[in-house]
A and B are shown apart, each in its own frame.
Chain A
Amino acid sequence: MLHALDLRVPRGEWLGVLGPNGSGKSTLLDCLAGRHAGEGTILIDGVSLADEPMRARARLGYAVAPESLPPVLSGRECLAVHAAARGLDAEAQVLELAGPLRLAARLDDPVATYSYGMRQKLGVLLALIGEPALIVLDESFNGLDPASSLVLKRHLRARVDAGRCGIVLATHALDIVERWVDRAVVLHAGRFVGEWDRVALDALRDGVGLEVAMAEAIGDRIG
């Protein structure tokens, strides 16, 4: 359960959401996707998710969980379906990214034959279709090989730096947060209990480390 949260992620910012298991990270992301009807207001690129869900969702890219992808369809068909929902015939930009992610050669195979990491990549590619103003990623780097992970992080970073989108990433991978995000918040029991900007994250990386800082923020004792 989430308590009153106030969060703003502008274009040009990559936000990391940290927190222990069950802290509300995925619930927060579900709210952003309109899967949870609760009190409060969610605006995506200035459009209310509750009042204009179609327009708001057209501005949102949500990485599909690997287990949710349809096993009988091919990767290319999945991309075509998501492109069609956004009124696009093809998404050359996303297909270009499939090459460096080592997915291009398998795009015509059924998703059922994909490894977990390949499904993760496809899920993220689906989120990138149609220049979304906000990209939402839930543990989307899990299972990716290091080279693909680096390609994807660089691509996302470039999008953010160009001011094309904002990103919300929920993760337990502290190394990604330490190096790649602009700001990190810590959720615990549905409340924000900590927040660090890029300068603070750099200081933590060179100092006690994010693990210790996060544990202190949520009140855990570490050996």
Chain B
Amino acid sequence: MPTANAALMARRLEDRRRWRNGWRRPAVVAAAAGLLLALAAAALLAPVAGARGLIDSALAQPERSLGLVVLLAGLRALRLRRHWLAERPRSWLGVLPIAPAQAARADAWRLAGAQLPVLAAALAGLAIATVASGNAQGTAPLAALIGAGIVVGSVAGGLLGRRPAAPRAARALRAAVPPAVRVASGWTVLATWPLRQARAQADPGLHARVFGALLLALPIGSAIADILALLLGLAGVLAATECLRGLLAVLRGAGWLRSAAFAPRRLAFALIMPTLALVTGIAAATGCALAAIAAPPEAAIIALGGSLFAAAVAIAAWRLHDPTRPVR
């Protein structure tokens, strides 16, 4: 009978390898660059009244803030645990004699690893809000509150998630893709591929949770203009991020085009330009809307900076995955 926890052993081995390789991954570099850009933008806009209000409100009602963090972290942990339980039979360890208690320990380890990026993202968000508010007081207690909330929520969600997630029907956005009624030209297919990919992989549930968290975190009695500005800014960031994620997924998966004799520039143009045009459009629309509701004028410049950042990421990804170049 088994004497070692093979599930935990596999998980630790995988995490160790991912940790070693992770720093070199383009996605990590892009996220770090994006954070620096956001911090620079926050410093340029500071002091922002909304950010100040957000931090003051969180500090004034710590139990409410803690409850919100626990709730969000707990829901994520619950969803992840149920998802892992559902996928376990199909995994490469699925047919091994692994006791439920051993699998649970491996899940706890995996959950800790999965919640670490959330903790990092929350702390990064706090750093951006602090810089935007122009006042660093209260950062330490809020960071401690976020850390504690994520730990408590993860433990509770992990313990509650004991039932495998039921198989779900296609998500709304994916199901909304209309059936092909005519055969488009190859170039049209290539041009629309990143946008279709973005639509297919977007998770409306995740977006709803992000919006919900923001609305719950807003101080009671916030000005409508502040709420609108925050919601608009968030919507713009989410939409542009989904477009960019779709493009990156397509560029990573463009290897199957290697055998076709495409002209490099034309192929790059067809794959990348529609997404960049859309991201620029989203940035322009968000900047105009923010300006219309009396947000600082720098918001428009920041939106433009965001689209330039997207272009830089797309070009870097193309250079990395260019399917017209031979494999090295």
Of the listed stretches A7-15, A63-71, A170-178, A204-212, name the one at the interface; the rest are far from the partner chain.
A63-71
A179 within 8 A of B: no
A33 touches B1 (CB 8 A): no
A146 within 8 A of B: no
A54 to B6 CA separation, bound complex (whole angstroms): 13
> Count of chain B residues with Cβ under 8 Å from any Cβ of A?
25
A221 within 8 A of B: no
Overall SS of chain B's interface: loop
A72 within 8 A of B: yes
Q: Provided the pairs A35-B90, A73-B10 are in contact, do residues A85 and B98 lie with their beta carbons within 8 angstroms?
A: yes
A146 to B61 CA separation, bound complex (whole angstroms): 70
Residues of A within 8 A of B18 (CB): 72
Residues of B within 8 A of A80 (CB): 9
Residues of B within 8 A of A110 (CB): 17
A35 touches B6 (CB 8 A): no
A73 to B91 CA separation, bound complex (whole angstroms): 14
A34 to B94 CA separation, bound complex (whole angstroms): 9
Residues of B within 8 A of A69 (CB): 92
> Count of chain A residues with Cβ under 8 Å from any Cβ of B?
27
Residues of B within 8 A of A33 (CB): 89, 94-95
A213 within 8 A of B: no
A70 to B55 CA separation, bound complex (whole angstroms): 42
Residue among B91, B92, B97 making CB contact with A86, cutoff 8 Å: B97
Separation in Å of the B166 CB from the closest CB of chain A? Answer: 14
Residues of A within 8 A of B5 (CB): 84
Chain B residue, CB-CB nearest to A77:
B13
Residues of B within 8 A of A68 (CB): 90-92
Residue positions of A touching B, CB distance < 8 A:
33-35, 53-55, 57-58, 60, 62, 64, 68-70, 72-73, 77-78, 80-82, 84-87, 110, 126
| 5 tightest A-B CB contacts, nearest first | A85-B6, A84-B4, A62-B95, A85-B96, A72-B17
Offer 28 A-B interface pairs, CB within 8 angstroms, sorted by A.
A35-B89, A35-B90, A35-B94, A35-B95, A54-B97, A54-B99, A55-B97, A57-B95, A60-B95, A64-B92, A68-B92, A69-B92, A70-B92, A72-B21, A77-B13, A80-B9, A81-B9, A81-B10, A81-B13, A81-B93, A84-B4, A84-B6, A85-B4, A85-B6, A85-B93, A85-B97, A86-B96, A87-B4
Residue positions of B touching A, CB distance < 8 A:
1-7, 9-10, 13-14, 17-18, 21, 89-99
